[in-house]
Amino acid sequence: MQQVLVTGASGFIGQRLVERLRSDGHDVACLVRRRSRTQRLEALGARLISGDVTRPESLPAALEGVQRVIHLAGLTHARTLADFLAVNEAGAGALAEACARQASPPVLLMVSSLAAAGPSPEGAAHREADPCRPVSQYGKSKLAGEQAVRRWAGETPITILRPPVVFGPGDRDGLTLFLAVRRFPIHLVPNLKGLPLSLVYVDDLVDAMVRAVDQGERLTAMDGSAGQGVYYAADPAVSSYAEMGRLASAAQGRRVLVICRRKYPFLIPALAGDAVSWLTGKPTLFSMDKLREASATGWVCSSQKAAEQLGFAAPIPLVERYQQTAEWYRAEGWI
């Protein structure tokens, strides 16, 4: 049994991770903010520790006696790059520093994102040693977070995991697509090639996280180390945003017409989203930043390294995983 601290535990991925860790017999502590929804975590028998990665003074006490830290906390939607960086860079760096300053530094797994690497080359998949060229504010902030934790790699063992699009039970972002194709039999894609991308089912990602924190190679303090200490975790089947619409529709016993277009017709709603964001002070689901991601060459990554070094696998086909997700949504009354 290990003592594991999880940040971002109240989120979609975090709850599935805590469930897995508890089933494996670990003592799990969750760093939670006052407004976090913690009922599920409490039901799983996790300990709750009040704190926030943006409040460095709350971290040392949370890390006492901990052997493993899995860092999931972060912003996926924000109004400005500064808002993203305050959590995704500064928060990650503060956590890594706090780990390094422990008498017995724990292993830190930072869950980053494929967005940190940027779009994949046309017809190819990102590998860990490839250079990173993020195009969105979110991606830039996640890469900055990776660089912030790397500074402490000489003092605490650190591994980075970059998932692509994550889906599965409990995913509210993915629910938007399920509801859209349920209500309207048309799936619009702002990309003539359908936006090729990699996907990973949440439980497969959780398995990769557990393997990476226990078995993964660790970062070196020097950047440019040919991807050492970094892993991608994705289903081996390359999908696309166009195919996601078909899968979400088929999982509900429906059919959808997929229409792929250039990005230009989507400029007005993207600009409108930015305008609403500035007026309200809150992020919107669709913006110019999201359009830049949607109109990219693709978001495809290879999990070969994770498969060879960690034994990672995604054993169930995507179509079945989408059916499982739809069944969960129905059972919970979400669709």
- Residue 161's nearest CA partner among 195, 119, 206, 125 is 206
Contact indicator for 140, 81 with CB cutoff of 8 Å: yes
* 322 assigned to some structural domain: no
- Do 266 and 145 share a structural domain? no
- Residue 282's contacts (CB-CB under 8 Å, 6 or more residues apart) are 79
| pLDDT at res. 314 | 94
- The rounded average pLDDT for each run of 10 residues, N- to C-terminus, in the chain (335 residues) is 94 96 96 89 94 95 96 91 96 98 96 96 92 94 97 96 96 91 87 89 98 95 78 95 91 87 69 71 72 83 98 94 93 92
Residue 127 sits at φ, ψ, to 5 deg, of -120, 160
CA-CA distance, 88 to 78, in Å (whole number)?
11
CA-CA distance, 294 to 191, in Å (whole number)?
7
CA-CA distance, 260 to 195, in Å (whole number)?
9
Residue 109 sits at φ, ψ, to 5 deg, of -105, 115
* 116 assigned to some structural domain: yes
Angle, helices 81-88 vs 90-100, to 10°: value is 10
- Do 112 and 44 share a structural domain? yes
* 262 assigned to some structural domain: yes
Question: In the structure encoding, which two tokens stand for residue 24, read together?
Answer: 């494996």
For the chain, give the longest Cα–Cα distance.
58
- Amino acid type, 82: A
- Bridge pairing between strands 186-189 and 165-167: unpaired
Contact indicator for 301, 232 with CB cutoff of 8 Å: yes
- Residue 42's contacts (CB-CB under 8 Å, 6 or more residues apart) are 48
- Do 211 and 258 share a structural domain? no
* 333 assigned to some structural domain: no
| pLDDT at res. 225 | 63
| pLDDT at res. 274 | 67
* 326 assigned to some structural domain: no
Q: Specify the CATH number for the domain of residue 127.
A: 3.40.50.720
- Do 181 and 96 share a structural domain? no
Distance, CA of 141 to chain centre: 13
Q: What residues make up the domain containing 118?
A: 3-169+199-234+300-315
| pLDDT at res. 231 | 98
| pLDDT at res. 279 | 72
- Do 205 and 107 share a structural domain? yes
- Do 117 and 104 share a structural domain? yes
Residue 67: is it exposed, middle or buried by C-beta count within 10 angstroms (0-12/13-18/19+)? Answer: middle
The CA-based angle 111-281-90, given to 5 degrees, is 35
- Other residues' Cβ atoms within 10 Å of the Cβ of residue 215: 12
Helix segments in the chain, DSSP class H: 12-23, 39-43, 59-62, 81-88, 90-100, 137-150, 172-183, 202-215, 241-250, 267-280, 288-294, 304-310, 318-331
- Residue 322's nearest CA partner among 232, 233, 237, 209 is 237
Q: How many domains does the chain have?
A: 2
Tallying the residues shown for the chain, one arrives at 335
- Do 133 and 108 share a structural domain? yes
* 320 assigned to some structural domain: no
| pLDDT at res. 268 | 63
- Do 211 and 158 share a structural domain? yes
Question: In the structure encoding, which two tokens stand for residue 5, read together?
Answer: 């601290």
- Do 132 and 243 share a structural domain? no
* 257 assigned to some structural domain: yes
CA-CA distance, 243 to 260, in Å (whole number)?
11
- Amino acid type, 323: Q
User: The whole model's pTM is what?
Assistant: 0.92
| pLDDT at res. 35 | 84
- Do 271 and 211 share a structural domain? no
- Do 191 and 51 share a structural domain? no
Cβ burial 292-307 (10 Å sphere, 16+ → b, else e): bbbbbbbbbbbbebbb
| pLDDT at res. 265 | 64
CA-CA distance, 288 to 11, in Å (whole number)?
25
* 225 assigned to some structural domain: yes
The CA-based angle 38-320-299, given to 5 degrees, is 75
Question: In the structure encoding, which two tokens stand for residue 245, read together?
Answer: 């619409």
| pLDDT at res. 238 | 93
- Do 210 and 285 share a structural domain? no
Q: Give 6's strand partners.
A: 30, 70
